[in-house]
Structure 1
Amino acid sequence: MRLVLFDIDGTLVPGASSEARFARYLWDRGALGLRQLLAFAWFCLRYFPRYGRHVMQKNKAYLSGHGKAEIAALARDFVAERLAPSLYAPAVERLRAHQAAGDRVALLSGTPQFIADALADALDVEYAHASLCAVSDDRYTGAPPVRHPYGPTKIDAAEALARQTDLPLATAVAFGDSITDAHLFRVVEEAVAVQPDKRLSEAAEGAGWEVMLDRITAPGKADAQEHGPRY
């Protein structure tokens, strides 16, 4: 039995991030108003000196004023209606294979915890460790997140999951798509780069990490393996 860590955005969820899709879902449901838009804009202005180019990833102010229970319910509907049907099938297949093998699977992501929890339920995954947004009196505020697993801090989150599952991180498997996941990749036994960005692809080649890519069929090469991993 091993601990298996799956990133969400770019790994299980292709294309636009789960959080960006959720914000659009809130807009479509009429749950984003002037208060949330102004709070979002103010966060960018106020915190850009602190976070620089990462300010948008830290900005959860579009949740301002909404109750935790309300957002959790909307997140469950969003995952069922929009996110689950669009998951990257090869990554889900690997997740299912690890579940069938008896491994402990966990979602580890910078997306908000309420999205990770809803997705974990949809995938029958027991553990999820994601961003905790700032709350006061059970309502979200415009403050920076209390916890945001990203880059090197994903190692801290992975160590917390290792303690929670009582499984060593040194024998774990990690799936991710971005060069920021390379920090985590270096401390686990097995790493899988899923549809990696250019920098992670280069790092994977140098480190010998597995790379999962969609089939690229050249003329006369119709027998290429679809979604097959390469090294």
Structure 2
Amino acid sequence: MSRLHVFDLDGTLIHGSAAAVEIARQLGLEAETGELEREFAAGRLTPSQFAERAVALWTELTEAQVAAAFAGAPWLTGIEEVWAAIRARGERIAVISLSPAFFVRRLLDWGADAAHGSRWPSVPFRERVDPAGILDASAKVRITDALCAQYGLGRADCVAYGDSMSDAELFKVVPVSVAVNADHHVQHVATHSYRGTDLREAHALVGAP
């Protein structure tokens, strides 16, 4: 039996941080971006509003800084090892995140079969954000369903890994889920819970199919 393993990015694969935080660090805009993160977490900004304000703030962002943010992020240990083992079993890996697609897609090089993020303007930013391209929590379910159809699977074949409110809807519709260093939004709906910095340990909770 094949399965689809769906991973969140911020706070899940990246321990205690997020793509936006790591990008802001490269720009020296940690305080300003941190305020946006807090407003978003409190529900005072929608995903598209967050993107619009971040694009306006990060006007000097370059591809080199995105690459440096990705390389310097506090990733969980063992990501590529876990993904290699999943693929060796004939199973699939997807990353679905509200973060910019230009950051998320870099995980294809680590072994993900699919990597979906919000469609922000190209770097350096010269265009406005198109709200239609910005993902939200419901998009994680929609994209998972589309990937299942593509791979000949169903929701019953999915395992979700996440840490926060944006993962709750997906956790509710798949049979197996792992709350990774998670907050209260997903702790009560996850089938497994993990705190630590090693994806190998989190993945071991799922077991073989």
Q: Does 1:211 align with 2:193?
A: yes
The 1:134/1:78 distance shift into structure 2, 3 A limit, reads closer
Instruction: Return the offset for 1:155.
Output: 0.8
Q: Name the amino acid aligned to 1:143.
A: V
The 1:95/1:194 distance shift into structure 2, 3 A limit, reads farther
Residue 167 of structure 1 corresponds to 153
Check whether the contact 1:60–1:144 (CA below 8 A) recurs between aligned residues. Answer: no
Higher relative contact order (CA closer than 8 Å, sequence separation 6+):
2
Residue 16 of structure 2 corresponds to 15
Q: Name the amino acid aligned to 1:212.
A: Y
Picking from 166, 177, 188, the partner of 2:174 is 188
Q: Name the amino acid aligned to 1:17.
A: A
Instruction: Return the offset for 1:14.
Output: 1.1
Aligned mates of 2:187, 2:16 — CA distance in 1:
17
The 1:190/1:93 distance shift into structure 2, 3 A limit, reads farther
In the TM superposition, 1:7-156 aligns within 5 A as: 7-25=8-26, 27-28=27-28, 53-55=44-46, 58-61=49-52, 62-63=54-55, 71-72=62-63, 74-80=65-71, 82-83=72-73, 86-89=74-77, 94-121=82-109, 123-134=110-121, 140-156=126-142
Aligned mates of 1:89, 1:17 — CA distance in 2:
16
Corresponding pairs, count:
190
Aligned mates of 1:229, 1:3 — CA distance in 2:
16
CA deviation string 1:144-196 (max 9, x = no partner): 54323332221112122223334323311111111331210122232111111
Aligned mates of 2:98, 2:118 — CA distance in 1:
5
Unaligned runs of 5+ residues in structure 1 are: 216-225
Aligned mates of 2:131, 2:112 — CA distance in 1:
24
Check whether the contact 2:98–2:136 (CA below 8 A) recurs between aligned residues. Answer: yes
Aligned mates of 1:203, 1:168 — CA distance in 2:
19
Check whether the contact 2:80–2:111 (CA below 8 A) recurs between aligned residues. Answer: no
Q: Name the amino acid aligned to 1:21.
A: E
Instruction: Give the greater-gyration-radius structure (CA).
Output: 1
Question: When the two structures are superposed, what TM-score results if normalisation uses the length of structure 2?
Answer: 0.72
Aligned mates of 2:116, 2:51 — CA distance in 1:
17
Instruction: Return the offset for 1:93.
Output: 5.2
The 1:72/1:5 distance shift into structure 2, 3 A limit, reads farther
Unaligned runs of 5+ residues in structure 2 are: none
